[in-house]
Chain A
Amino acid sequence: MRARVVVLPRPDILDPQGRAVGHALASLGFGGVQGVRVGRVIDVDLDDRLDRALAAAQVDAMARELLANPVIEDFAVEWPAG
């Protein structure tokens, strides 16, 4: 089973990358872009035999301890099918 951890800069944290990408989109002529934030996606493949609730708790702990830095980032865990 696959857990997808989506990590994004917290809204109150300046994201210079997102800002630069936003400017680039505007210069390409895309109007109406009000904000861009650049983060990362981390896919973690887990043993299918793991209990789902246990796996969810484990991925949550992984995100808190290493994959995201709560000082500057928020994260969400998704469970893509297939």
Chain B
Amino acid sequence: MRVAVLQFPGSNCDRDVVRAFGVTLGLDTALWWHEDPELPDGTDLVVLPGGFSYGDYLRCGAIAAHAAAMGAVRRFAASGGTVLGICNGFQILCEARLLPGALVRNVGLDFVCKDVTVRVDGHCNRLTARLPYGSRWTMPVAHMEGNFRVDADELATLEARGQIVLRYVDPAAGERGNGANPNGALSDAAAVCNEAGNVIGMMPHPERATTASLGSEDGRALLAGLVESVTRSK
């Protein structure tokens, strides 16, 4: 099992992601510089970490979506490889059209940095396939543009296919609403996958919730579930 963490100028969660997969989960994990057009040999999982790639110029993720390495990410995804985008990585995957929709400015116009609780609402993807349906997980978000938007027809399609795989819920009741949604995302979407379920984007940061000393180990459970799905898909 080999993990490649794609690093752009302005990525700032890259080392946390390397630590989460490499140290916490003990996997063979390496950074992959965005100018390298070749996927590192033997890669089973590509992760696009959070940050401010290219200073978020133009639109978040817009310039990174055209980086040299993204051609290899496209081919990897097209051949069934697993790709996870976290925060800015999610924005990049949307800009690259590997995921539907786009992420726009939070409704409150504030940078939101706090713990959120998300609920598993879709199973047909490699991030949540191994987790109990309806289970709830707590980890931080930290973003200015996490407001998931897509047109009404496509939203209906995403809902029907179960492509909204994690939703923001109230931590106590586990229900939607009640101010649980930190950014105004449609359908309370915290994570979305492509139709095949092998490309997933999420706004919360599982790599920031990997040990009790960080306040939560829920992120570790999510990433471990992803790794198990990837292993089974091989």
Chain A, residue nearest B145 (CB): A16
**Contact status B66-A71, CB under 8 Å:** no
Interface size on B, residues (CB 8 A): 22
Q: Is B147 an interface residue (CB 8 A)?
A: yes
Chain A, residue nearest B183 (CB): A16
1/0 per residue, CB under 8 A from B, across A55-82: the answer is 0000000000111010110000000000
Contact of A69 among B62, B66, B100, B184 (CB under 8 A): B62
**Contact status B151-A14, CB under 8 Å:** no
**Contact status A14-B95, CB under 8 Å:** no
Q: Is A20 an interface residue (CB 8 A)?
A: yes
In the complex, chain B residues whose CB is within 8 Å of the CB of A15:
104
In the complex, chain B residues whose CB is within 8 Å of the CB of A20:
109
Q: Is A50 an interface residue (CB 8 A)?
A: no
Q: For chain B residues 61-101, which have a beta carbon within 8 Å of chain A?
A: 62-63, 66, 94-95, 100-101
Q: For chain B residues 16-38, which have a beta carbon within 8 Å of chain A?
A: none
Q: Is A47 an interface residue (CB 8 A)?
A: no
**Contact status A69-B102, CB under 8 Å:** yes
**Contact status A66-B66, CB under 8 Å:** yes
1/0 per residue, CB under 8 A from B, across A7-23: the answer is 00100111111001000
**Contact status A72-B105, CB under 8 Å:** no
A13 to B105, CA, bound (A): 11
**Contact status A12-B151, CB under 8 Å:** yes
**Contact status A16-B149, CB under 8 Å:** no
**Contact status A16-B95, CB under 8 Å:** no
Chain B, residue nearest A72 (CB): B102
**A72 → chain B closest CB, angstroms:** 4
In the complex, chain A residues whose CB is within 8 Å of the CB of B147:
14, 16
Given contacts A66-B58, A66-B62, A69-B62, contact A16 B102 (CB under 8 A): no
Q: For chain B residues 98-157, which have a beta carbon within 8 Å of chain A?
A: 100-102, 104-109, 147, 149-152
In the complex, chain A residues whose CB is within 8 Å of the CB of B104:
9, 13-16, 72
**Contact status A13-B62, CB under 8 Å:** no
**A77 → chain B closest CB, angstroms:** 17
In the complex, chain A residues whose CB is within 8 Å of the CB of B101:
71
Q: For chain A residues 18-67, which have a beta carbon within 8 Å of chain B?
A: 20, 65-67
Contact of A16 among B58, B59, B105, B151 (CB under 8 A): B105
A10 to B107, CA, bound (A): 16
A13 to B154, CA, bound (A): 13
A interface, CB within 8 angstroms of B: 9, 12-17, 20, 65-67, 69, 71-72
Additional A-B contacts beyond A13-B104, A71-B149, A71-B151 (10; CB < 8 A): A9-B104, A15-B104, A16-B106, A16-B107, A17-B105, A66-B58, A66-B62, A69-B95, A71-B100, A72-B102
The list of the 8 closest CB pairs from A to B, nearest first, reads A71-B102, A72-B102, A16-B105, A16-B107, A13-B149, A20-B109, A16-B109, A69-B102
